[in-house]
Each structure stands twice: as structure tokens, then as C-alpha cells.
Structure 1
Amino acid sequence: MTRQVSSDAATLRARRKSPLGTPTDLKAEATRDISAALNAVLADVFALYLKTKNFHWHMSGPHFRDYHLMLDEQSDQLFAMTDPIAERVRKLGGPTLRSIGHIARTQRVADNDAEYVEPIDMLAELREDNQALAARLREAHGLCDEHGDIASASLIEVWIDETERRTWFLFEASRSGDSAGH
């Protein structure tokens, strides 16, 4: 009985120090490392979402409809990632992003505030950003493997596949129509 009381008291003290701390069987180091990696990915996803929407809104030219629709679909997919990433961080017991400023301080995806960007340059920039996101997701997956967090790793695997699909579509959409040599 005494052991249970002291364990409960220790849990209560820990909760007072970190009132949003969620119980987990992962070690504190795992929570810290994976939460940090996922928060960085989350900031990148928000930045890439907004950039994709920006290019969607400002698309022009002869392929307007196709590119506009593709970027709308891709932005929806990116936005759909945000809540599961943030909730995974919370399930691990970590804090997540709190504001646009927090995203800006954490993101690694460069903003593009140019007044005009050629459509082909939009596709190329988004392709590169998605490739970088896939690499960062793989890094986060490696951390999850290292710490035995199979739930986060499983989610990340799906996001890698989705990110590679976006990269592929952006690549194919930006190719010149000449395939005579292939």
C-alpha cells in the first residue's frame, strides 16, 4: 500500500510540473526526441500546405485547370496530416505547436512571397519541398525505430508514401511533353 501511495504522489508531482504530460511507457528521452522531430515535421507540413495553397490560388497559364486542381488536392492532403501529427505528439506526452509564430520559428520549408512565380517554377519548388519533407519523415521514422515507437513509425510510413506520390505527380506535371527519345 505504501508503495502505491508514493507512486501516486510521484505521478501527481510530475503532472503539476507538466500538466499536459500524457502517460506513456516510452522513456522521457524518446518523448523529447520524437516530439521534437514530429513538431518540426508539423511546422514543415503547415508551411508546405500554405505554399501549396498560395501556388494554387496564383496559378495561371495554359495548364491552369489541371495544376489548380492538382495543387488543391495536394494541399488538402497536407492539411489532413496536421491533426494526426499534433495528436501523436500529445499522445507521446509532448507539447505541440501553439501559433503561427511557433511554426515560423520551427519550419524548414522556405516561404515564397513572390508576387509572380511561373507555373513550372511553382511545380519544381513544390517538388523539391516534398522531396525534402520525405527525407525529414524518414529521419523521424529512424528516431521512432530507435526508441521503439511503432505507432508513430506506422503513421509516418503512410505520410512518406503520400509525400512521394505528391513528388511524383509534381515531377510528371512539370516534364516537357517531348518523349521522342524515350
Structure 2
Amino acid sequence: MADQTNTARYTVPSLSREDGDTVARILQERLNSLTDLHLTLKHVHWNVVGPHFIAVHEMLDPQVDAVRGMTDAVAERIATLGVSPVGTPGALVAARTWEDYHLRRATAIEHLGALDEVYQGVISAHRKAAADTAELDDVTNDLLIGHLHDLELFHWFVRAHLESAGGEISTSGATSELDAARRARESAG
């Protein structure tokens, strides 16, 4: 029977097994988050409606593809560190610390408001993971920082739809994805 523990029997040169395990645990959290994000983005792609449908629908596919690529890079880094990446739906749901995406069929502005909250959570956790790996593993830290460039760019694409000419973001102060969707809808009139 295969070994079902999820600790490294080896890791990359110059990293202790303990540090390799620590980095792999941090990356597993990012793998869960990125997997959830790419599925959420695809869900929005399928469920967005309204006058800005095509713009948002087409904006999301490159984000889905890029985030899916990030998940692969993270999973491969976990494996390189000697730990088994876990990518099953049940494991993701059991491990996640955030709520499922709530919107179904909704207007573009509502979904973009909700995605603003989603991206804020993903980016904040990614930045923390980058900080937590900065002293442990340069390669992992570099990987996470590279992801942040794209994640923050995608967040900007979302926020550009939510920003007024005066620079105010309609979802400012939202406390949840549903609250952000409501604020975006009300701001759009």
C-alpha cells in the first residue's frame, strides 16, 4: 500500500526536510485557494448576464487559464519538495477556510463586485504565503511573487469596472462577497 502520510522523505538540496514540509504546507493552502479561484472564475464566466455580459465573459477565460497554470506550478513545487500535492475536491472543501461563492446567475456588475472580494482574499493570503516563505525558500517565494503580479493585474481588471471617475471603488467597505455584489449593483443604479 502506498504511503498515505503527507510529509517529505526527501526535499530539495540545501533545505531541511522540516523546512520542506513547512513550505509544502504553505503551498498546499495556496493550491486549495487557487483551485477554488479558477473554478469560481469559470462559474462566473458561465453565469454572468446583462449588458456587459460579453466583455466580462471574455475577460474571465484568460484569468481561468492563468490561474489553472498557477495551480499546476504550485502542485509541482509541492511534489519537488518531496510532498504529495492533494488536489481532490473533498480535500479542498475540507481544508478551505472561506465560504463557497454564493452568486449564481447574476449581472456582470454583481459578479464583479463579488470577485473583488474574492480576489482581495486570495491576494492577501498569497502575500502572507510569500512573506512566510521569504526566509525559507527563495524558489517558492519567487513563484508566489510571480503569481501575485498576475493576480493583482486580474484584480485591477475587475476593479476597473467598479471604479468611479473619481477613483472610488463601489465595493469599498464590503464585508462579504454578497455585500460587495449588492454595493456594486446599487452603485451602478
Question: TM-score with structure 1 length normalisation?
Answer: 0.80
Distance (whole Å) between structure 2 residues aligned to residue 118 and residue 61 of structure 1: 5
Question: What RMSD over aligned residues (CA atoms) do the two structures have, in Å?
Answer: 2.3
**How far apart in 1 are the matches of 2:7 and 2:29?**
22
2:146 aligns to what?
A: 158
Alignment counterpart, residue 29 of structure 1, candidates 14, 18, 26: 18
Which stretch shifts more, 112-121 or 28-37?
Answer: 112-121
**2:158 & 2:6 partners in 1: Cα distance?**
43
Residue in 2 aligned with 1:43?
32
* Alignment deviations for residues 154-173 of structure 1 (CA, whole Å, 9 cap, x no partner): 11111011110011110002
Separation in 2, partners of 1:155, 1:19: 21
Residue 101 of structure 2 aligns with an amino acid whose one-letter code is: N
TM superposition shift of 1:19: 9.5
**In the superposition, relative to structure 1, how do residues 20 and 145 fare at CA in structure 2: closer, same or farther (>3 Å)?**
closer
More helix by share: 1
Q: Which residue of 1 aligns with 2:175?
A: none
Instruction: Report the counterpart of residue 133 of structure 1 in structure 2.
Output: 122
* 8 A contact 2:79–2:85 mirrored in 1: yes
Secondary structure of residue in 2 paired with 1:146: coil
1:63 aligns with 2:52: yes
Supply the AA of the counterpart residue of 2:48: M
Letter aligned with residue 124 of structure 2: A
Identity score, percent:
27
Question: In the TM superposition, what is the alpha-carbon distance from 1:134 to its structure 2 partner?
Answer: 1.5
* Map of 1:168 onto structure 2: 156
Runs of 4+ aligned structure 1 residues displaced above 3 Å come to 17-23
Instruction: Point out where structure 1 has 5 or more consecutive residues left out of the alignment.
Output: 1-14
Show structure 2 runs of 5+ residues with no match.
168-189
Shift of the alpha carbon at 1:92? Answer: 1.2
Answer with 1 or 2: which has the greater Rg: 1
Pairs aligned (count):
163
1: distance between equivalents of 2:6 and 2:150?
34
2:113 aligned partner: 124
Q: Secondary structure at the match of 1:47?
A: helix
How far has the Cα of 1:110 moved from its partner? Answer: 2.8
